[in-house]
Amino acid sequence: MKISRRNLVFRGLATISCGAFCQLSDTTFGAETVNEKKNEVFFTLYPVGEVKRQRGTIKLRIFDQYRDALKGLNDFSHMFVLYWFDRNDKPENRNILQIHPRGKKKNPLTGVFACRAPVRPNLIALSLCKILSIKNEIITVDRIDAFDGSPILDIKPYIPSIDGEPEGVRVPGWLKG
């Protein structure tokens, strides 16, 4: 899915369909960064999986072609999950730059970069998740602020020396040295 930075910030996705993101499959999309006239830069995003909510459990299903990328993740206790706010992907939502957090008028008007609002120029979301189990291509996590079917863009391990050190975080031995 090619997305112009200028379109993201100023015009939203009026000319780009979100159909590729809204209908996930085990297929990937084209993979190049393209420089166009007027210094517009296009990025290609590859969903690597999808969020599955079933009977109170949260599972992240990683597509088969990315299964090998999970090697070693079970040595970590926590991970960051980046995903797409696909249900909010409307041009008008990409132009909202200030909101009252959590939709409450009593909260001060705040820029979207200073809160976790699902409306923003780029609908990239981030959740820190505790890994409960990893089996084959399925990661079970404690929580995530995502809907069933939300596309997963990336997973990054939580590393205390980089990300801070809250209690109860586990990392593999090679990272402690």
Residue 31: inside a domain: no
Digit-coded pLDDT (tens) for 6-17:
333 333 332 233
| Structural domain for 158, as ranges | 46-172
Residue 96: inside a domain: yes
CATH of the domain at 94: 2.40.30.70
Residue 21: inside a domain: no
* Residue 41: its H or E element: strand 41-44
Which ranges of the chain would DSSP assign to H, the alpha helix? 5-6, 19-22, 91-94, 160-163, 173-176
Domains in the chain: how many in total?
A: 1
Residue 146: inside a domain: yes
- pTM (predicted TM-score): 0.73
Residue 120: inside a domain: yes
Digit-coded pLDDT (tens) for 48-76:
999 999 999 999 999 999 999 999 999 99
Residue 23: inside a domain: no
